[in-house]
């Protein structure tokens, strides 16, 4: 099976999000269970119809085993691949392959976290890296700070330009009633916020929030009978270079430079065909790097069109649920308008941007 043969062969037919921000009194699995039930119902299916499960969490060593036990499922196919925040984009590709191969008929992709109410701090849940432990890093913040410092050295990026990213994100968050961090915020507020890991201040860092998200996929020929507005999966791409930040070949370049083109090639689209590009902006440096890498700009030129905030038009700030929930928020809010979009999420080791095509609700989509 070639990569082009799976283009448009699957579709998202149900989705749900829950517990955004703070979900007091709920465990990560309880939040995951809520959205799994809701997503299956949204697809017009019953839980016993789910025979494919794809999951990754930061609190379960064997996520698919925990999920199927909690939900009472007996799937024919399951996958718990964990590549950090990009896991769930990769799960879309894996679910599509499993569906097309006949290994399952209805796939559930799910995630849940109570990181804020359980601990309230942004910390890495993974095993220590022996060559970093001696320096007492505060991951993932230390890794992003190191990349930011190198970007500043190499391209002259400034803290003021980082602040523009945070300022634009807050501006759009203030338009979204579901956003966790809302309210007035000035550039001076951002620049004077507490330094966490030089050069990243508190305002540059990823939010810590609770939340859960799930989606259900079926083969495309079945999708049209299950949901009025299925979201067709066109393609995905992956790249995996390293585990530790110290092994990153170039601190200013992520694996997105390879995964982005792969996703577009599989989807059979070019950048000019995209109505919308969604960038996962956990830290302010993410937006700068991914914009350059996935939109094929020179690495130091992102700010030539970003200083006025136009880069961020159409983004939907909510909270840090990771790309798992972020892609579903895109799906829910963009369906009426965008015909073709790319969802781009990057980690320091893997970057997996799926390209999905929406069934148009009207004759012409109004892209941003």
Rounded CA separation 180/238 (Å): 30
Q: Which of 238, 246, 241, 239 is nearest to 147 (CA)?
A: 246
Helix axes 87-100 and 322-334, enclosed angle (nearest 10): 70
Beta strands 52-55 and 77-79 are parallel
Specify whether 187 is located in the same domain as 273: yes
Contact 144, 289 (CB under 8 A): no
The pLDDT assigned to 360 comes to 34
The pLDDT assigned to 300 comes to 54
Contact 214, 35 (CB under 8 A): yes
Task: Print pLDDT tens along the chain (368 aa).
Answer: 566 688 899 999 999 999 988 899 999 999 999 999 999 999 999 999 999 999 998 788 899 999 999 999 999 999 998 888 888 888 999 999 999 999 999 999 999 999 888 876 655 556 777 778 888 888 889 999 999 999 999 999 999 999 999 998 899 889 888 888 899 999 999 999 999 999 999 999 988 888 999 999 999 999 988 876 888 998 888 888 888 888 888 998 888 888 888 888 998 888 888 777 777 778 999 888 877 766 655 555 544 434 444 444 333 444 444 444 555 555 555 454 555 555 555 433 233 445 555 433 333 222 22
The pLDDT assigned to 293 comes to 67
HSE, side-chain direction, 13 A CA sphere, residue 38: 16
Exposure string of 226-240, with b = 16+ CB inside 10 Å and e = fewer, is bbeebbbbbbbbbbb
Rounded CA separation 341/75 (Å): 31
Q: Is the residue at 59 inside a domain? A: yes
Specify whether 190 is located in the same domain as 280: yes
Q: Is the residue at 363 inside a domain? A: no
Distance of alpha carbon 226 from the chain centroid: 25
Sign of CA dihedral 118, 332, 204, 274: positive
Is cis: bond before 199, omega within 30 of 0?
yes
DSSP summary character for residue 148: H
pTM for this predicted structure: 0.84
Rounded CA separation 189/347 (Å): 27
| Domain, as residue range, for 166 | 138-203+238-357
Specify whether 160 is located in the same domain as 302: yes
Q: Is the residue at 263 inside a domain? A: yes
Q: Is the residue at 128 inside a domain? A: no
Specify whether 82 is located in the same domain as 168: no
How many domains, the chain? 2
Specify whether 100 is located in the same domain as 225: yes
Rounded CA separation 54/179 (Å): 27
Q: Is the residue at 124 inside a domain? A: no
Q: Is the residue at 280 inside a domain? A: yes
Specify whether 166 is located in the same domain as 224: no
CATH number at residue 306: 3.40.47.10
Specify whether 319 is located in the same domain as 248: yes
DSSP per-residue letters across 28-82: HHHHHHHHHHHHHHHTT--GGG--EEEE--SS-SSHHHHHHHHHT---SEEE---
Phi and psi angles of residue 11, each rounded to the nearest 5 degrees, phi first: -150, 145
Rounded CA separation 143/124 (Å): 11
Specify whether 114 is located in the same domain as 56: yes
The pLDDT assigned to 123 comes to 57
Distances (CA, A) of 201 to 162, 230, 305: 10, 40, 24
Rounded CA separation 84/113 (Å): 13
């Amino acid at each position: 099976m070639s990569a082009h043969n799976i283009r448009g062969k699957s579709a998202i037919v149900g989705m749900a999000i829950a517990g955004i921000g703070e979900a007091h009194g709920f465990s990560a699995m309880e939040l995951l269970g809520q959205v799994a039930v809701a997503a299956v119902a949204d697809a017009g299916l019953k839980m016993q119809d789910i025979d494919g499960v794809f999951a990754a969490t930061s609190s379960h060593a064997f996520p698919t085993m925990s999920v199927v036990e909690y939900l009472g499922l007996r799937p024919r196919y399951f996958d718990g691949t964990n590549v950090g925040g990009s896991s769930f984009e990769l799960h879309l590709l894996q679910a599509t392959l499993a569906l097309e191969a006949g290994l399952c008929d209805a796939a559930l992709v799910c995630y849940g976290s109570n990181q804020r109410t359980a601990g309230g701090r942004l910390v890495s849940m993974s095993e220590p890296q022996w060559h970093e432990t001696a320096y007492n890093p505060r991951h993932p913040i230390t890794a992003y700070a190191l990349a930011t410092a190198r970007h500043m050295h190499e391209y002259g990026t400034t803290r003021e330009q980082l602040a523009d990213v945070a300022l634009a994100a807050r501006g759009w968050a203030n338009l979204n009633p579901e956003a966790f961090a809302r309210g007035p915020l000035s550039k001076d507020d951002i620049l004077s916020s507490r330094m966490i890991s030089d050069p990243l201040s508190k305002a540059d860092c990823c939010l810590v929030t609770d939340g859960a998200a799930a989606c259900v996929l079926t083969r495309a020929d079945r999708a049209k009978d299950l949901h009025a507005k299925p979201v067709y999966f066109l393609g995905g791409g992956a790249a995996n270079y390293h585990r530790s930040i110290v092994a990153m070949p170039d601190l200013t370049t992520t694996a997105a430079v390879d995964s982005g083109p792969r996703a577009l090639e599989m989807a059979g689209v070019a950048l000019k065909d995209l109505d919308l590009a969604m960038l996962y902006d956990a830290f302010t440096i993410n937006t700068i790097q991914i914009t350059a890498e996935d939109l094929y700009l020179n690495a130091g030129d992102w700010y030539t069109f970003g200083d006025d905030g136009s880069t961020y038009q159409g983004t939907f700030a909510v909270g840090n649920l990771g790309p798992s929930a972020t892609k579903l928020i895109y799906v829910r809010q963009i369906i009426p308008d965008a015909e073709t979009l790319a969802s781009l999420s990057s980690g320091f080791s893997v970057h997996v941007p799926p390209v999905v095509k929406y069934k148009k609700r009207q004759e012409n989509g109004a892209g941003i």
